[in-house]
Chains A and B, each alone.
Chain A
Amino acid sequence: MIIDMYAAGIAAVFGLLGIGLYGLMTLRNLIKVILSLQIIGKAAVLAVVVAGSISGEIAIAQSMAASVIVADTLVAVIGLALAVQMQRCHGSLDLRTLSMKFHTPPEAENGG
């Protein structure tokens, strides 16, 4: 029975990781991309918790999980702040509007 619990946990880790990576590859809206990052982050937290319960290091795993949640939240906050700024700068949240290379005319960049 306990083995089944581990298997379910590991399956959930892979499921969340798959959803997150799929979203990261297919979505083009910055907020949705940040959501995908959060889902991958949750997969990592779950992986830590499952690993801790498999190896019996539950205390370490719990403190790790709490720290990862804090770090993940920081990333989300900063990512959403960048999204606000992106909406202001580009008028859109579409990642395809990101400049892919050095295309801005140097004259405009350096003010003449």
Chain B
Amino acid sequence: MNPVAWLIALPLASSPLIYLAGRLPLEPRRAARWQISWALSLAVLAGMWAVFAAAARDLAALSAAPVPALTVEVGALNLRIDGLSLFTAALVLGVSTLTLIFSGVGVSGRAGAEKYFAMILATGGAMIGMACAADLFNLWLWFEAMMIASLMLVAFAYDRPAALDAAIKYLVQNVVGSLLALMGIALVLGSAGSLRLDAVLNEAGSPALLTAGALFILGFGVKCALVPLHTWLPDVYTHAPIGTAALFSGAITVSGLIAMLRALAPLGGAAEVWGSLLLGFGALNIVAGNLLALRQKELRRLLAYSSISHIGFMLLALGVALYTREPAAAQAGLFHLLNHSVMKALAFLTIGGGLYSLGMDADRPMPFRQLRGLGRSSPLAALALTLAILSLAGLPPLAGFISKWQVFQAGMASGSPAAGALTLFAALNTLLSLAYYLPVVMLLFADAPAEAGAPRRPLPWRMQIPLILLLGFVLLFGILPDLARLLTDPASAALQGGFGGLDRLISLNGDSLWRLFF
């Protein structure tokens, strides 16, 4: 077995062990038991980071190939690790690690915390597996496994009606989505006879394969909240435990986008069709997300709708990339994906921290009036929330501005009037989004209410570390955006290469991924 396969095997194999370790009858106190699981999970994630570094090094050694990819065979299982896989792995590992550190406080008081830690690892492992799948059916299986594992994260607080309702909605809508995607896979199998993701199907314009691609967009689109299929998302983001919301906004939701791009790659002959569909859905997502966010009175739900509009930005950029084969657009879209994960993980974890510092349950929704005076009671949380929200709004010099600007530039440079017009429309929508972002920031620094006699808790170090790290990334990617290219360049090269755009590949910079670590 190639050591790189441990990137997937390690979390999946250790997940049940972590659950069992949390239930060992060694210590009568529950507090000590969850700490065992928590520490073990962190150790597993550290091991995964080491494997990730090794995989990045191996991949960088292959940089002479047009689309470098490591092929790993584990029994009957074929894995293909390329730039997009490593991009996904970095995203999953980063968000999981920080959420896990944070959740050491959030869910620790509750029974069954070991289940939560085990499921974070299982979800992450399945998602990395999905990004490394070598054929369509393996992609679907990993996707389904990830959906089931992430459902456990949503349903963790099943004794609260609102969280249970969110879990039921998530289950029903996503199962229909993944079954539609499976129908698409059956169509590809029936008409082409090959499910390999690196195959180029010649008859990509045939009715059966066009239907298959449309089913992929619909099916995987449920997971990444294409607008008519987005209704599960606000409930999950509002009522699931705060760590789950951070994981969803940081990694799980966009996995639908990655699965969609992967599944469409063999149908790359019709890339213009897929590109125009993604452009349309992107514009729809941006405007619907923004309009729905305007009416919200609760911060987590507002951030959920803002996620929908940010996913629209990614769809728009990737649509430009497929429609016009503009290489900068794929890079910009993936950069925005990365930035959005960092900003949203920061925003959600800060909400948890803010509620904790106000003496409340960190996993509950946060109505706007509880934001009042947070600036005084917890300066770190207020600063982190302010920067996250200003970055989401796209104000310079923060990360969200740079990637939106790159999407805009790529759309304008693509030379297609339709793509240019939709990009301009998206840029104007950014102004609309200020209408709901700025009042939140103003509330943060408003005077505290008179009856503010609630107990105030200082943030423990386990909450401070993830906030400070994510805050650092929001500033870092804003000031040094080229740093993110270490990850996004190989990923967009893999993406373009998968769609048969080899002739217009951007030049890969030798051992760029390897330099990320040393």
Same complex: yes
Note all chain B residues with C-beta closer than 8 A to A90. 161
A71 touches B176 (CB 8 A): no
A17 CB contacts on chain B under 8 angstroms: 183
Q: Which of A32-59 contact B (CB under 8 A)?
A: 33, 37, 40-41, 43-44, 47-48, 50-52, 54-57
Beta-carbon contact of A50 and B186 below 8 Å: yes
Nearest B residue (CB) for A49: B186
In the complex, which residues of chain A have a beta carbon less than 8 angstroms from the beta carbon of B355? 110
B144 within 8 Å of A (CB atoms)? yes
A43 to B176 alpha-carbon distance, docked (Å) = 12
Please give the distance in Å from A68's CB to the nearest CB on chain B. Answer: 7
Which residue of A41, A78, A82, A110 contacts B361 across the interface (Cβ within 8 Å)? A110
Chain A interface extent, by class: 35 or more
| Docked-complex contact A110 and B141, CB < 8 angstroms | no
B384: min CB distance to chain A, Å: 21
Find the B residue at minimum CB distance from A55. B193
Contact A89 B189 (CB under 8 A): no
Task: Across the interface, name the chain A residue whose C-beta is closest to B300.
Answer: A102
- Chain A residue at smallest Cβ distance from B454: A112
Indicate whether A64 reaches chain B with its CB closer than 8 angstroms. yes
Check if B195 is an interface residue, CB within 8 A of chain A.
yes
Q: Mark A56-77, 1 if CB is under 8 A from B, else 0.
A: 1100110010011001001100
- Chain B hits for A30, CB < 8 A: 168
Q: Return the CB mask of A75-86 against B: 1 if under 8 Å, else 0.
A: 100110010011
Contact B158 A82 (CB under 8 A): yes
B151 touches which one: A47, A78, A106 (CB < 8 A)?
A78
- A109 in the interface, Cβ–Cβ < 8 Å? yes
Does the CB pair A89–B365 fall under 8 Å?
Answer: no
B190 within 8 A of A: yes
Is B288 interfacial (CB 8 A cutoff)?
A: no
| CB atoms of A110 and B171 under 8 A apart | no
A7 to B182, CA, bound (A): 20
| B34 CB, min distance to chain A CBs, angstroms | 22
**Nearest neighbor of B367 in chain A, beta-carbon distance:** A106
In the complex, A74 Cα to B148 Cα: how many Å?
A: 8
Contacting residue for A60 out of B161, B179, B189, B365, CB 8 A? B189
Across the interface, do A44 and B183 meet the contact criterion of CB distance under 8 Å? Answer: yes
Residue contact A75 to B175, C-beta cutoff 8 Å:
yes
Inter-chain contact B176/A40, CB cutoff 8 Å = yes
Question: Is B167's CB within 8 Å of the partner chain A?
Answer: yes
Residues of chain B within 8 A (CB-CB) of A106 are 298, 365, 367, 370
Q: Which of B179, B190, B297 contacts A51 (CB 8 A)?
A: B190
Q: Which B residues are within 8 Å of any A CB, using their own CB?
A: 137, 141, 144-145, 148, 151, 155, 158-159, 161-162, 164-165, 167-169, 171-172, 175-176, 179, 182-183, 185-187, 189-193, 195, 235, 238, 296-298, 301, 355, 360-361, 364-365, 367, 370
Residues of chain A whose beta carbon lies under 8 Å from any beta carbon of chain B: 13, 17, 24, 30, 33, 37, 40-41, 43-44, 47-48, 50-52, 54-57, 60-61, 64, 67-68, 71, 74-75, 78-79, 82, 85-86, 89-90, 95, 98-99, 102, 104, 106, 109-111
The 3 closest A-B pairs by CB, nearest first: A51-B190, A55-B193, A47-B186
